[in-house]
Structure 1
Amino acid sequence: MTINEWAGIIALPIAVVNLAITIYKEFIRKPKLQIELILSEWIASGQGIIDFQLNVRIKAIHGDVHIRSVRLLNKKHQLHSLALVSAPHFTSVFSIEKQKGCYYPLAYANEYVKEDLTKTSRFMESLGELKDKGIREVEELKITKDSVEILTFAGRIIGTLSSEWMTRRSIPDDAWFLQIAYDRKKSKMIRLP
């Protein structure tokens, strides 16, 4: 056998190994998010009013990740005109309806809050105090490789007024999810207990 034949025989396994490494790096080992729910509290503070607090640990694996959006969604119920009130502006964000269910964009998060705010009798005042302790926009938030962010999402969902005088419709407490969209078209969803 000539040297050219030996080179051809040796080049084939090297090319296969090189192709396998490229496929692993480019397609299998893409940056991903790992999400862990630390605290999920939902307290009905009145007829048609729910106060909530979600503490979430987010870790970037295999590379940097850019968060595009965070949504609180309900896949089961068509919840017309519910309002979400949260820091820093305390203006109502109304639900955006989909074919099945609806969602609320969560544009801001606090730095990690250890105490459970839903247990206090002054929930909205506690949210106002959090505004001064470090609130950040979550859209285009960059999480570097192998770093961990712990964020707190807190707010109040207010139901619509019913036809009866000064009463609100009840809000279902099932089928709620937290969805975090990142990079181009990727998203991760966790069910809220």
Structure 2
Amino acid sequence: MRIQEFIVVEGKDDTIAIQRAVNADTIETNGSAISEDTLRRIEHAQQIRGVIVFTDPDYPGQRIRAIIEQRVPGVKHAFLTKDQAKAKNGKKIGIEHAADEDIRYALQNVYTTTENMPVEEITREDLMYAKLIGHPSAKARRERLGSILNIGATNGKQLHKRLQAFQITVEQFANAMHTIDQEENNV
């Protein structure tokens, strides 16, 4: 599988994992201390072939993603869940620990944020009703929702914005919540 866009990852081990799973060029941020030079390379890459941001599903990965998104509008995003990115010993999380098929799936299901496009509104009240905020099981339900919709894990404040940014429709949201409710009822 050949990926045309440059894939932005955090480090060398991530590049090795990406190139093991797909044929692609990467740009490494060298961790969360993303430099001005690296940001300029990402801007240039976006103009030439496009960019997919594929960072670890943790706080530093989200921070890098936000910095790039602010600086380089229109980049695409690929996500893995924490479970998919967990090392065999269960102690570390990173793209480099993911299975090839999970990496390929994430890269086949990328999102582009488009904050100015009108989309049916999923309200904060909808999130409360769906037990995604303000409920004892909210964190687990948000993680599962992020996995189903392939938008990554979020906290309660980020979820509403991410649903809008990735133009998740009310129908997609309802279908995902139905799946979560069915899974919980079958446990």
User: Same fold judged by TM-score > 0.5?
Assistant: no
Larger Rg: 1
TM range (shorter): under 0.3
**Structure with greater helix percent:** 2
TM-score scaled by length of structure 2? 0.22
TM-score scaled by length of structure 1? 0.22
- Which structure is richer in relative contact order (CA contacts within 8 A, separation 6 or more)? 1
